[in-house]
Amino acid sequence: MKQSLRHSYLLSSKIDWLTIGGLSVVILPIFLFFISNDVGLSEQVGIALYIVAFVVNYPHFTVSYQLLYSDYRHLLLKDYRFIWAGIIVPILLFLYIVWSMIEQSTDMLAYFVEFMFVIVGWHYTKQAYGAVMVTSSMKKYFYNKWERWALKVNMYALWITSFLSFNIGENTGLEYWGIPYESLNFPKFSIYIAYGITAVSLLVFAGLMLRRILQTKSWPPFISIVSFLSIYAWFLPILYDPVYNLAVPFFHSIQYFTFVIALKKNEISAEVDHTKHVTKWVVAYMAFAVLTGVMFFEALPRVMDVTIPYNHDLFGQGLFLFLFSVFINIHHYFIDNVIWRADNEKVHRYLFT
């Protein structure tokens, strides 16, 4: 068996910093100062992002299904974590959908949306934290437990701040694929507390890193700093821009793909001698993700919306578009929570070592 070569980069030493989060940091000012102030340009960007979703956003979800149900299928009935993520969670989600349909309840579906938003924010944060850890590890830069703890607290505090900012006070008339939902009506003081925790935890983390820099005369890798800054570009409420917010799933997806492609490339390289064969396999793997992404996010639910009868007056015209989107978004988090762990043998071998 050929051993995979250890690199100090994931895909390329020249582009890693962009795909890992740098692109979102660089583009943010362009959105804030140019695109959002131009209505016509904003509409064009929105259309472009919808098209991009077909080749980036949707496939990043279906890749996780490939990893779980193909690469890790041998663990689906052996490891309790994989049993939970691969079998129990989808059954529970499906039963909740059936219950909602039996009750004919848009309120139940609205709770589904809110749960999805909580899960998605948590997922983005965990992925960004993982990006910092992996890219640092590749540069032989390792954080101690207090530095890791401070970083986690700060990133999760930022996520909570972002979530609260969308749920302060009453906000009605919101919709997700035609299903109405409302803000959670948190009191205004809660956002100030969240901002305070975020600021204090950032100062603590900065202080710990400054002490380390002074002691060791070494800085964290540039790519790791970019990974950290990306979550602020995505989540910090004072930087919120409605058009840029539409692009955040794209930035998250290319960050995700950076790790998927690196993992598969290193794994296949350990088995195959020729680089051309590795490239072909990775391309085929990604192509299948694109096709299944289009199928489950667009083609299949749209066909079901026009062929399966349901109460359109109550649920609107895109019930199955809603159900597929929410189901996959939520399940995706649980899948990734068991796949992308440092103690996972494949992840540890092909990304950390």
Do residues 61 and 292 touch, judged by C-beta distance below 8 A? no
In this predicted structure, the answer to whether residue 151 has a pLDDT above a threshold of 90 is yes
Let me know if residue 48 belongs to a domain: no
Let me know if residue 80 belongs to a domain: yes
Beta-bridge mates of residue 181: 174
Computed over every residue of the chain, the mean pLDDT equals 88
In this predicted structure, the answer to whether residue 295 has a pLDDT above a threshold of 90 is yes
Tokens of 151: 């970083």
pLDDT number for residue 272: 61
Let me know if residue 41 belongs to a domain: no
Let me know if residue 50 belongs to a domain: no
Do residues 43 and 305 touch, judged by C-beta distance below 8 A? no
In this predicted structure, the answer to whether residue 36 has a pLDDT above a threshold of 70 is yes
| 156 pLDDT tier (thresholds 50, 70, 90) | very high
| 275 pLDDT tier (thresholds 50, 70, 90) | low
| 138 pLDDT tier (thresholds 50, 70, 90) | confident
Tokens of 232: 């602020």
pLDDT number for residue 270: 66
- Give the separation between CA 301 and CA 174, rounded to whole angstroms: 22
In this predicted structure, the answer to whether residue 2 has a pLDDT above a threshold of 60 is no
Diameter of the chain measured on Cα atoms: 68
Let me know if residue 237 belongs to a domain: yes
Let me know if residue 115 belongs to a domain: yes
Question: What string of DSSP letters covers 180-198?
Answer: EE----B-THHHHHHHHHH
| 240 pLDDT tier (thresholds 50, 70, 90) | confident
Secondary structure class of 174 (helix, strand, coil): strand
Instruction: Identify which of 21, 24, 2 has the alpha carbon closest to the alpha carbon of residue 10.
Output: 21
Kindly list the distances between the CA atom of residue 36 and the CA atoms of 142, 176, 208, 331, 338, in Å, as whole numbers in the listed order. 40, 22, 37, 33, 38
Q: Which of 8-17, 89-98, 102-111, 273-282 shows the lowest mean pLDDT across its residues? A: 273-282
- Give the separation between CA 147 and CA 134, rounded to whole angstroms: 15
Residue at token pair 């809110």:
114
Question: What string of DSSP letters covers 126-147?
Answer: HHHHHHHHHHHHHTT----HHH
Let me know if residue 44 belongs to a domain: no
Q: Which domain holds residue 162?
A: 20-32+56-352
Read off the pTM: 0.88
- When divided into structural domains, the chain yields a total of 1
Do residues 207 and 150 touch, judged by C-beta distance below 8 A? no
Instruction: Identify which of 117, 15, 63, 10 has the alpha carbon closest to the alpha carbon of residue 253.
Output: 63
- Give the separation between CA 108 and CA 326, rounded to whole angstroms: 13
Let me know if residue 8 belongs to a domain: no
- Give the separation between CA 333 and CA 123, rounded to whole angstroms: 6
pLDDT number for residue 46: 85
